[in-house]
Structure 1
Amino acid sequence: MNLLEVRNISLAFGGVKALNDVSFTIRKGEIFSLIGPNGAGKTSMLNCISGLYRPTEGSISFEGADITGMKPFKRAGLGIARAFQNIELFSHLTVLDNLMLGRHTKMKTGVLAGGFYWGRAQKEEIEHRKAVERVIDFLEIEDIRNIPVGRLAYGLKKRVEVGRALAMEPKLLLLDEPMAGMNAEEKEDMARFILDIHEEMGSTVVLIEHDMGVVMDLSDSVAVLDFGKLIGKGTPQEVQENPDVIKAYLGEEQFI
């Protein structure tokens, strides 16, 4: 079953075409990696899927419904969550508070009830707190739960960024370079968490990552972009053996 279908997506900024007629499908329950050289259009594609950008042409369907013109918050309500390449946390808030913000699409009580913190609002927050506690345990960040995010090491901030997306209990989790800037040990931990998210939580994962060893080890399917065009897709083995992919990464002269 296809969870997400991207059909003939093009995205232009004036005379610059960031994406050019890109199509692929993502099956429910897989880890799907989107790779390519810097400037290939990978983050632009995630922005189109999450709703930050509206494509110039083409369409995107989620669970069979067209979401091309849908606002980002409505896509979040459908179960599409995003962790950003550049950390987008609130540095003055604690880890716990940042994770609680990931539950905003599931909160039903109004501003008045929430402000007085009584009845249904109180019960609802208790339930959301339980969900966040499960994320904290899952990502092994119990000891930093009450520390302001701005005081954390970079690798822990990246983990909290992923945790906030996980707090939404996503059907589709978009991870934009979750291992960028990490050392070898931190990368190993993050790779383990991604596998556990996939296997234990049942989320479908879209991963952008430059470490090809990680991509080939984790992915069920891989799509390759170069200058906004899709130049290859398939299993990790098929992509590794694709001449166009080799050329894009190594350069035409070395390939010949």
Structure 2
Amino acid sequence: MDPILEIKNVSLQFGGVKALEDVSYHINRGEIFSLIGPNGAGKTSMLNCISGLYHPTSGSILYNGQEIINMKPYNRTALGIARAFQNIALFAHMSVLDNLKLGRHSLMNSGPLSGGLYVGKAAREEIEHRKKVEEVIEFLELQDIRHIPVGTLPYGLQKRVEVGRALALSPDLILLDEPMAGMNNAEKDIMSHFILEMHEVMDITVVLIEHDLGVVMNLSDHIAVLDFGRRIGFGTPAEIQENPDVIKAYIGEETVI
């Protein structure tokens, strides 16, 4: 398989606290990859290292074979890496459409003239970006709420818009940090459907942090398991379910999946 992302011996330390310790794994192009573990295991810290919000203390992160560990977050976005956050980071007073457009505009090369007017190359670029935003709205079935302020929407729809803002960047690799947190079962089913469609229809490689093990086992091609910042398991869902270290540290001795 062709790896899109390679994590090699990554460590992250804050003073005397080791958030990640010598973690290695790889993610194959076109798969759904899940990162699981107990609270405080280092999962979000790992996504922060991949997206560029944190700089690892040591190690290497290769994206399509290119070292990105010293690259700024916006440069990683330009390469095709997008991130949806665990805690919703939308502009509550702005509409769904404007939140998606704002995310997409980070890719614009031609800035607007004063007054928000676009001409020439900037106008053509604006049309293309708006087309991509409309595709995301259609994909996530947001047509009926496109002009509604995000802050007035139910939590499940806000999470969908958060994912949509990442999708608006047309990523090759999308990092989803607990996109189903706080959702009921029906909302989880809808989000699971969208994740599968990202993978199968849009050909996006998905990295998923999720605490619902049923969702993880059903969606994932491969899984890495962290505990106290160290990798204790890596493999297919079947291999993870049979890993004694994972069962002891996370799944539980008496749990049967």
On whether the aligned pair clears a TM of 0.5, the verdict is yes
Q: Which residue of 2 is the match for residue 76 of structure 1?
A: 77
State the distance in 1 between where 2:115 and 2:165 align.
21
Q: Which runs of 5+ in 2 are unaligned?
A: none
State the distance in 1 between where 2:114 and 2:129 align.
16
Q: Which residue of 2 is the match for residue 38 of structure 1?
A: 39
State the distance in 1 between where 2:244 and 2:188 align.
29
The alpha carbon displacement at 1:126 in A equals 1.6
The yes-or-no answer on 1:16 pairing with 2:9 is no
The alpha carbon displacement at 1:114 in A equals 7.7
Q: Which residue of 2 is the match for residue 100 of structure 1?
A: 101
Change (3 A) 1:116 1:184: same
Q: Letter of the aligned partner of 1:32 in structure 2?
A: F
Q: Which residue of 2 is the match for residue 184 of structure 1?
A: 185
**Identity over aligned residues, as a percent?**
70
Change (3 A) 1:242 1:136: same
Residues 116-131 of structure 1: matches in 2 within 5 Å?
A: 116-131=117-132
TM-score (norm 1): 0.96
Q: Which residue of 2 is the match for residue 230 of structure 1?
A: 231
Q: Which residue of 2 is the match for residue 26 of structure 1?
A: 27
Q: Letter of the aligned partner of 1:236 in structure 2?
A: P
Contact preservation (8 Å) 1:41, 1:228: yes
Q: Letter of the aligned partner of 2:8 in structure 1?
A: R
Q: Which residue of 1 is the match for residue 50 of structure 2?
A: 49
State the distance in 2 between where 1:79 and 1:48 align.
15
Q: Which runs of 5+ in 1 are unaligned?
A: none
Contact preservation (8 Å) 2:80, 2:172: yes
Change (3 A) 1:240 1:45: same
Residues 142-181 of structure 1: matches in 2 within 5 Å?
A: 142-181=143-182
The yes-or-no answer on 1:207 pairing with 2:208 is yes
State the distance in 2 between where 1:114 and 1:75 align.
30
Cα deviation code 1:8-45 (max 9, x no counterpart): 00000100000000000001000000000000000000
Contact preservation (8 Å) 1:113, 1:121: no
Q: Letter of the aligned partner of 2:111 in structure 1?
A: G
The yes-or-no answer on 1:220 pairing with 2:184 is no
RMSD value over aligned CA atoms?
1.6
Cα deviation code 1:53-93 (max 9, x no counterpart): 00001010000100001000000000000000000001111
State the distance in 2 between where 1:94 and 1:110 align.
22
Q: Which residue of 2 is the match for residue 2 of structure 1?
A: 3
Task: State which drifts further: 124-133 or 225-234.
Answer: 124-133
State the distance in 2 between where 1:133 and 1:174 align.
21
TM-score (norm 2): 0.96
Contact preservation (8 Å) 2:112, 2:118: no
State the distance in 1 between where 2:252 and 2:221 align.
26
| Residue aligned with 1:40, SS | coil
